[in-house]
Amino acid sequence: MKFADSLDHDVVIFDVSGKIMGGEETTMFHGRIHEYITQNKKKIVIDLAKVEWMNSVGLGMLISALTTVKNAGGRLVLANITAIESVLTITRLINVFEHFDSRKEAIEALRK
């Protein structure tokens, strides 16, 4: 897994790519989430357009991020979930995560 993060005004965007299956990158990802929360940046989009595959550790990473952001009073949404939609559906997490077909829709929803 690789990720890059950026700011679009008041919205934090994480571009995640590759195979999400834990490891050092997962720890770094959580660290970045916490850094943004400390900076009071609590509107977060995780764009999964370039994700190829995800295992249970990857699902745990997303759940942990969602919990962390919600507990801080923020909002985390997913964009472009096509590659992992079946996993989210099977695990019924599709109902837990707000998700949007595009990054643009996700950002607009967070700004409302």
Q: What is the pLDDT along the chain (112 residues), one digit of tens a residue?
A: 999 999 999 999 999 999 998 889 999 999 999 999 999 999 999 999 999 999 989 999 999 999 999 999 999 999 999 999 999 999 999 999 999 999 999 999 999 8
Asked whether the whole model's pTM tops 0.85, one would answer yes
Ranges of beta strands (E only) in 1-112 are 2-8, 11-20, 43-54, 75-79, 98-100
Angle at 85 between CA 83 and CA 90, to 5 degrees: 130
CATH 3.30.750.24 assigned to 2-111: yes
Q: How many C-beta neighbours within 10 Å does residue 111 have?
A: 11
Identify the H or E element spanning 22. Answer: none
Q: HSE of 57 in the Cβ direction (CA atoms, 13 Å)?
A: 12
Question: 91: exposed, middle or buried (C-beta count within 10 Å: 0-12, 13-18, 19+)?
Answer: middle
**pLDDT at site 112:** 87
C-alpha–C-alpha distance, residues 109 and 112, integer Å: 5
